Structure 1
Amino acid sequence: MVIKLNGVTSVGNGGDGIRIEGDVELEGNNIHTANNGGQGINIIKHADLMKQFGLPTDTDPKELAELLIAVRNAPNEDKQKVIENNSLWGKFSVGALNSTTLISNLINIASNPQTMQVVASLLK
């Protein structure tokens, strides 16, 4: 999908000046962004995937890809520690009762041969 923006000014926002979520292309003319708390223009292509993992939509997809690779490559006895020591651990939207399930799910996802397809997509 192509999103077209013309004559947009976004100044002094607390977050991103312009945030677009989804696998989109942006065509723009005469766009001005300045003094925003985040990016001037931020296109978050992997927002849906981040939501499925219970992560904030603006999570860097490379961080998730690196976590999955680290879990995949860790010895079985270290996989849980790899997850819990990763910077993403505190960002997952789960309660304490669901953390065991999340760890198990992440280990299973990282062990799945198709995970490398997801990782390749995240690294684009």
Structure 2
Amino acid sequence: MAAKFTNCGAFGCAEDGFRVTGEVNAEFDGCVSVGNGGQGFNILPKAPLMEKLGLPADTDPTKLAEILRALQGIPKAEQAAEAEKRGFKQILFGVLKEGPAYLNNVLQLANSPQVQQLIQMLSS
């Protein structure tokens, strides 16, 4: 899918000025984004996948893949403590109040039988 934005502006938005999610070929021509709370222009190709996984749309897929790989060598009973020790919640979710719930979702993903397929998908 293609999306073209021409001569547009986003000023003082609480989040990103422009956010495009999914597999979209986005083109911005003459657009301005100033004073926004998030990114000026944020393209999130893996956002629908993140939402299906129970994670925020703007979760960095590369960082998530790295963390899932790191959790693979840790016994399930020790994963939560190790994730806390390594700061995985802050790496993925910053200071979001929902961070603990999201981290629980990540721990569940780490123990899924399809985790290797998921890591490969996130890394591509």
Q: Same fold (TM over 0.5)?
A: yes
Change (3 A) 1:32 1:79: same
- Aligned residue number for residue 43 of structure 2: 43
- How far the C-alpha of 1:81 sits from its partner, in A, is 2.8
- Aligned residue number for residue 71 of structure 2: 71
- Aligned residue number for residue 108 of structure 2: 105
- How far the C-alpha of 1:8 sits from its partner, in A, is 0.9
Structure 2 matches for 1:12-51, cutoff 5 A?
A: 12-51=12-51
> Partners in 2 of 1:20 and 1:68 — Cα distance?
26
Q: Considering only aligned residues, what root-mean-square deviation do their CA atoms show, in Å?
A: 2.7
- How far the C-alpha of 1:107 sits from its partner, in A, is 3.4
Contact map agreement 1:65 1:119 (CA 8 A) in 2: yes
> Partners in 2 of 1:82 and 1:61 — Cα distance?
20
Secondary structure, counterpart of 1:59 in structure 2: coil
> Partners in 1 of 2:122 and 2:76 — Cα distance?
24
> Partners in 2 of 1:80 and 1:52 — Cα distance?
22
> Partners in 2 of 1:107 and 1:60 — Cα distance?
16
> Partners in 2 of 1:105 and 1:77 — Cα distance?
12
Change (3 A) 1:91 1:104: closer
> Partners in 1 of 2:15 and 2:34 — Cα distance?
11
In structure 2, list runs of 5 or more residues that go unmatched.
none
- Aligned residue number for residue 10 of structure 1: 10
> Partners in 1 of 2:14 and 2:116 — Cα distance?
36
In structure 1, list runs of 5 or more residues that go unmatched.
none
Alpha-carbon deviations, 1:60-98, whole Å to 9, x = none?
A: 22231122111112245533433455315853657xxxx
Q: In the comparison of the two structures, how many residue pairs are matched?
A: 115
Percent identical among aligned pairs is 34
TM-score (norm 1): 0.72
